Amino acid sequence: MYYLFIDTNKKEKIKLILKGSDSDFIIEKEYFINKSEEILNFINDFLIQNNIIHKKIKGIIIVNGPGISLNFKTGLVIVNTMGYLLNIPIVGISEEEFKDYKEFIEIGFYKIQKEKKYKPIKPIYKYKNW
């Protein structure tokens, strides 16, 4: 089983990290994107390249803000949809909670262990009126 970590909070790139549930097995990939429509394809390609079928994903961790970009919003919609369809837990982590991706993985892995089922996550917007 695997955990998928996603950061779509940057305007021009996304970061995908795959971690095995019983090991330190980690694969990272960064994609530079022109359009938010590419995010789903990048996630799918990343899983295919690493021979991971959707059923093997045990949980998803995403940076849920603070942000305002279309990539940020699209990433959250995709993760909420995947969590619902696969019936797996998802958790959001604010960019303010970690200083680097190693810490993002540690905090995310700790939080996802507490979740037993799908519960939608909400974005943390950069500005209060969004």
Here the tokens at position 120 are 């939608």
Domains of the chain by range and CATH?
Answer: 2-114 (3.30.420.40)
Cα 102 to the chain's mean position, in Å?
A: 14
The predicted model scores a pTM of 0.91
**Residue 17: helix, strand or coil by DSSP?**
strand
Could you read off the pLDDT tens digit of each residue along the chain, which spans 130 residues?
A: 899 999 998 878 899 999 987 666 678 888 888 788 889 999 999 999 989 999 999 999 999 999 888 888 999 999 999 999 999 999 999 999 999 999 999 999 999 999 999 999 999 988 876 5
